Copies of this chain bind each other. A is one copy, B any other.
């Protein structure tokens, strides 16, 4: 609920005994679990501590408030897209990125993102973490692969790489979050979307789209 800006999201302190990273991990996992079932507003530090099997005092030694705890969880599950390899062509670079994004959305970072997106509407600290740790890494990979493609002469240089970044992020997020899916049917919905999107993205960049599942 707070709209105050959070200057930094570090744990409260590291005083006393050395930090127990197993406990930190358990607390972060419990935070995601409670967020998923109760949302940001329904999350209490007591519920997280109970789920993690620690005392609330232990929790507060690490995270000084509920907001720090959730911001910490968002940072813990910052989108892990994996490394940006030069695969040698725009088509395969973009395909790799789309499937990396699908995997991230299917995993803990996607679940965290979904659970806190509503709260980030009026919580600037959380909104900033989502932007820095979920949007920027993808935008950087998009910029890098577009530059390589332009150097190879596959496309003209792109003046607005962030718009292309949103054409990657957006449909993958909307497909995962807004379209009801029946679980357990081969590759996840994000991976199917990745394959369907690819030819449209290539054409939007003025690159040759085929071969592949095209219109």
Contact = CB atoms under 8 A, between A and B. Distances in A.
Interface of A: 1, 36-42, 111, 114-122, 124, 127-128, 130-131, 134-135, 156-160, 163-164, 166-167, 169-175, 177-180, 193, 196-197, 200-201, 203-206, 215
Given A169-B170, A171-B166, A118 B121 contact: no
Q: Is the interface of A mostly helix, strand, loop or mixed?
A: helix
A41 B37 CA distance: 8
A178 B215 contact: no
Contacts of A201: 204
A41 B164 CA distance: 35
Please give the count of copies of this chain that the complex contains: 2
Sorted nearest first, the 3 A-B pairs with minimum C-beta distance are A170-B170, A41-B42, A170-B171
Contacts of A41: 37-39, 41-42
Contact of A204 (B1, B42, B203): B203
Nearest to A146: B215
| A39, A119, A121, A128 pick with most chain B CB within 10 angstroms | A39
Which of A41, A111, A172, A197 counts the most chain B CB atoms within 10 A? A41
A156 to B, nearest CB: 7
Contact of A174 (B37, B115, B116, B173): B173
A181 B7 CA distance: 18
Given A41-B38, A174-B173, A117 B119 contact: no
